[in-house]
Chains A and B, each alone.
Chain A
């Protein structure tokens, strides 16, 4: 416990015993979070990297999603004979958050696999790679939110106090996508079929979930909407941004899923985190 060679650096004492390995899962998550300087820098680096030598850079993300939103909005408002001013804001917010959700989960499947050379060679907490992935996707989401701002101004959306519900809604949304992506990250590292399964499932869920279509257009809500957790997850962030209030059922379900999911992921990470270095 005495001082090390450099006077300013304290020598940390680490004791690793075989029995204490599962308990270190939480220390790993905390130590990783403390290295925010490291993972936020690498998250920005990832984005700069992706658009190196491109003139518009990350605004390509905004442009590609904006085009998709505009086309889907026009097509579906014509198909269902609905007002564009109602359809387009609905679709744009839905797509922005669906995009955030899927990129979280899809990137989650490769979060450890793609960091293999770091994991096997550097003494940094595993969770750093997970936080880096989260930060990267939140930055991308920030660029996509520009679309929402354009929509608000263009369609002159009426926002009120209920819009503030977006903040707790977004936190709840992030907690849920975080536990899902960490869980699929661990499972995908062990079972290499899971990334394919997940990508497939998400594609199907996209059509089952009211994102580019509204459940209001149906006479009564089918079970795949009411019981669809993704619907409620999108609803708690979408409704406030459209100046509406999400039903209490959605809030309740999302809180319930978050608690159950955090429990499950904690159990899984505790069991598996020490083996990830062998699996990658």
Chain B
């Protein structure tokens, strides 16, 4: 059974000003004892998540809401293992997949076919897994012979179709999605909706960070609200 347990999770990170990132300032501030150059070490620590507690069970479809900068993306990144906690713990049972940026891992100079593989590998699929799903992905994009052309020749809509088709092909126990998903013209959008539904159906846990109440009422069974990195409500 897929399961996520978040205990007292805190994430803090230092934001370096343009100044403090340079070695010169660091050395100078050492030399001057950090008094004259006090302004150079303008490191601000941001507490993106603060003492979060949450249990997520098999079958949960979580709609993660909150205003910009409330910690939604940070929480998804921690669950994906990208950001590490500075306090507390998380326990994850199951294989985690992400849809944080569906363009990551795409290469404009390579053909559509190559990109299906590249993106597939980066999402943790093996060559055999991708080959098995290849026809399904290719057919879904409706790009036909364009798949043999480099991605740089694609329009934005064609690009989005391919990225969407590959991203939704993986099979994981836990899926983390940032912002809205779906792409293309009206006819494609309906197809995309069906594909998302089937993706949600076969994934034990889905966490969807979004601003769209419509998506939440359509796809989600629970609603978790963050505010300034603190859990405001979890239903």
Binding site for B on A (CB under 8 A): 1-2, 4-6, 9, 11-18, 21, 24, 37-38, 41-42, 45, 49, 52, 117-124, 190-194, 197, 274-275, 277-278
A18 to B52, CA, bound (A): 13
Place the interface of chain B in its size category: 35 or more
B171: chain A residues at CB < 8 Å are 5-6, 9
Per-residue CB contact flags for chain B residues 107-140 toward chain A (1 = under 8 Å, else 0) read 1011000100010011110110000000000000
A15: chain B residues at CB < 8 Å are 89-92
A260 to B174, CA, bound (A): 42
* Cβ contact within 8 Å between A12 and B85: no
* Cβ contact within 8 Å between B77 and A21: no
* Cβ contact within 8 Å between B123 and A122: yes
Known: A4-B2, A123-B82. A16 touches B90 (CB 8 A): yes
* Cβ contact within 8 Å between B23 and A11: no
* Cβ contact within 8 Å between A118 and B104: yes
* Cβ contact within 8 Å between B82 and A9: no
Of B94-102, B186-194, B208-216, B220-228, the one contacting chain A is B94-102
CB distance from B77 to the nearest CB of A (A): 7
A11: chain B residues at CB < 8 Å are 1-2, 93-95, 173
Say if the beta carbon of B232 comes within 8 Å of chain A.
Answer: no
A190 to B43, CA, bound (A): 13
A24: chain B residues at CB < 8 Å are 84
B203: chain A residues at CB < 8 Å are 5
CB distance from A174 to the nearest CB of B (A): 25
Query: Which residues from 153 to 205 on chain B have a C-beta closer than 8 Å to any C-beta of chain A?
Result: 171, 173, 202-204
B84: chain A residues at CB < 8 Å are 16, 18, 21, 24, 274, 277
* Cβ contact within 8 Å between B96 and A123: yes
CB distance from B102 to the nearest CB of A (A): 9
Known: A11-B1, A192-B22. A275 touches B13 (CB 8 A): yes
* Cβ contact within 8 Å between A277 and B10: no
